[in-house]
Structure 1
Amino acid sequence: MTVLRGTSVALRPTVREDIRPLAAIRATPEVRARWRGGDDLEADVAADLEDPGTRMLTVGHRRRIIGMIQWYAEEEPDYRHAGIDLFLDPSVHGRGLGTDAVRTLARHLVDVHGYHRLIIDPAADNIAAIRCYTKVGFKPVGIMRQYERGPDGTWHDGLLMDLLATELVR
């Protein structure tokens, strides 16, 4: 895959050289609180990179790595769709770069891969992420109760959101 260009971000396939900077972003308290991982974040990113079911893209802005966006696909014809996940360096939060990254990948998944439906599942209390995804056209489907275990060991709710290709805000 070539580089995908948004208004302000570029999404390119993640390579081994990206592991250290991506692990550093995942180590920030804001990202660590929302993104699963063990004690060795470099090993976690490397394992993600080796997962054949997940396509990782490094998010760049002004020649700097600012995060990672990934996608996976359900290819069973009767349930075909793609899912997205994202993290960005907290130093760039609130600038619309997350919205740009999600919109850029969503356009690619709809226009190039032909997915008619995309999903994303932020923590139910992650208002900033929900606002970001809503700007792209994602709509809440429902609360997934006790969806994932947080770093504190307790279960937290998730919000399932989806986007139909005809709803993509370009």
Structure 2
Amino acid sequence: MSSCWELHGAAVLLRPVVKEDIATLDRIVREPEVAAWWSVPDDYDDMLAIVLDGQVIGAIQYDEETDPEFRHASIDIFLTTGRHGQGLGTDAVRTLARWLIHERGHHRLTIDPAVANTAAVNSYRKVGFKPVGIMRAYGRDYRTGGWADGLLMDLLADELT
């Protein structure tokens, strides 16, 4: 992970994943409600653990486009099923977005949930992300084995809520 050590949200802490987190993250990503939207990563080296009260409850990652013509960052997240619907994913995304904008200097962020993942879409809207368009047959649908449409959403720096 780049120069991000610990980021404090309203409720969650984001920090680089350590070896001791891997078994927990492997278990979380295999939960049926998480596995519907995520495949098991090859590694967690480029992720931040989402920590609540000392417990790892998920992971979040970002990628940066450094070409000055197209500079922006993208975000991806998964959270243990037992913590869905509590605003913790929104807090984690907002915390990382704030860091990417204010510390890394990005003017634009993207996130690309499956269209059918309405809970994720609603969460990202709370941070200020806006739908840009549908990406047809964008990613694997782990529920059916086919392809699923993705919703491209973006956030401009002054839209962060």
TM over 0.5: yes
Determine if contact 1:36/1:150 at 8 Å carries over to the other structure.
Answer: no
Q: State the match for 2:38 in structure 1.
A: 35
Q: State the match for 2:100 in structure 1.
A: 109
Determine if contact 1:142/1:160 at 8 Å carries over to the other structure.
Answer: yes
Q: Aligned partner of 1:107: which letter?
A: R
Q: Secondary structure at the match of 1:77?
A: coil
Q: State the match for 1:156 in structure 2.
A: 148
For residue 153 of structure 1, report the CA deviation from its aligned partner: 1.9
- With the length of structure 2 as denominator, give the TM-score of the two structures: 0.94
Whether 2:22 is the aligned partner of 1:23: answer: no
In 1, Cα distance between the equivalents of 2:109 and 2:39? Answer: 21
For residue 67 of structure 1, report the CA deviation from its aligned partner: 0.1
Q: State the match for 1:52 in structure 2.
A: none
For residue 18 of structure 1, report the CA deviation from its aligned partner: 1.1
In 2, Cα distance between the equivalents of 1:6 and 1:71? Answer: 16
Q: Which runs of 5+ in 2 are unaligned?
A: none
Q: State the match for 2:112 in structure 1.
A: 121
In 1, Cα distance between the equivalents of 2:42 and 2:160? Answer: 29
Q: Secondary structure at the match of 1:79?
A: coil
Q: What value does the CA root-mean-square deviation take over the aligned residues?
A: 1.0
Q: Secondary structure at the match of 1:78?
A: coil
Q: Secondary structure at the match of 2:69?
A: helix
Corresponding residue to 1:82 among 49, 53, 73: 73
Cα deviation per residue 1:92-113 (whole Å; 9 max; x = unaligned)? 1111000100000000000000
Q: Which 4+ stretches in 1 moved above 2 angstroms? A: none
Q: Secondary structure at the match of 2:149?
A: strand
- With the length of structure 1 as denominator, give the TM-score of the two structures: 0.90
Determine if contact 2:135/2:150 at 8 Å carries over to the other structure.
Answer: yes
* More helix by percentage: 1
Determine if contact 1:116/1:165 at 8 Å carries over to the other structure.
Answer: yes
In 1, Cα distance between the equivalents of 2:80 and 2:145? Answer: 24
Q: State the match for 1:93 in structure 2.
A: 84
In 2, Cα distance between the equivalents of 1:125 and 1:2? Answer: 33
Q: Percent identity?
A: 54
In 2, Cα distance between the equivalents of 1:81 and 1:3? Answer: 21
For residue 2 of structure 1, report the CA deviation from its aligned partner: 2.1
Cα deviation per residue 1:96-133 (whole Å; 9 max; x = unaligned)? 00010000000000000000000000000111100100
Q: Which runs of 5+ in 1 are unaligned?
A: 38-43, 50-54
In 1, Cα distance between the equivalents of 2:42 and 2:17? Answer: 10
Determine if contact 1:98/1:132 at 8 Å carries over to the other structure.
Answer: yes
Q: State the match for 2:159 in structure 1.
A: 167
